[in-house]
Amino acid sequence: MKLKHIFMLLGAVLLGLTACSKDTPNTPNLSKTLAGTEWECIVQGAEQENGEKDVFTLLLRFVDDTKFTTLGIQKTFKNGIVVNTEEPSTSEGTYTYINKVATLTTQTIRNGKTETEVLTLTMDASNMKFTGTVTDEDGSQTLIFVRKK
């Protein structure tokens, strides 16, 4: 009778251990790879004279060790209510990730010419935030990407 109780206890322990291992998230080691992670950046424009405010959300997804995709959505708010949503824009490109610095490269066509755009993002110590700066004809803007869970 004691042997039967020991096997039942052993079986319960093994089932408990396998159930716990399934709950453990499959989180990549961010010091080595970004593959499979998603990041979000929200940029809010200044309120306009008519009370409207543009909010741009950029979703960044690292597909594998060399490719990324982005999805950008712009919404216009007035008094806290969405009054307009622009058609989502998507792009893709390649990246390198070395020593917590990701260098993203995309190719776009402007005025019939192919232009290469590069964005450098630096990871913070907690591995939960990327920071980079974008410069265009309107000036420069700091982008902060926060890791999506």
Sketch the domain layout of the chain as residue ranges: 38-147
Percent of the chain topping pLDDT 90: 39
- How many residues would you count in the chain? 149
Better-predicted residue by pLDDT, 25 or 140: 140
Give the H/E segment covering residue 110. Answer: strand 101-110
CATH number given to 38-147: 2.40.128
Please report which residue ranges of 76-147 form alpha helices under DSSP H: none
For the segment 55-62, the average pLDDT, to the nearest whole number, is 93
> Is a pLDDT exceeding 80 seen at residue 34?
yes
pLDDT at 27: 57
Higher pLDDT, 101 or 30: 101
Nearest-angstrom CA–CA distance, 41 and 8: 51
Q: Which comes out higher in pLDDT, residue 59 or 134?
A: 59
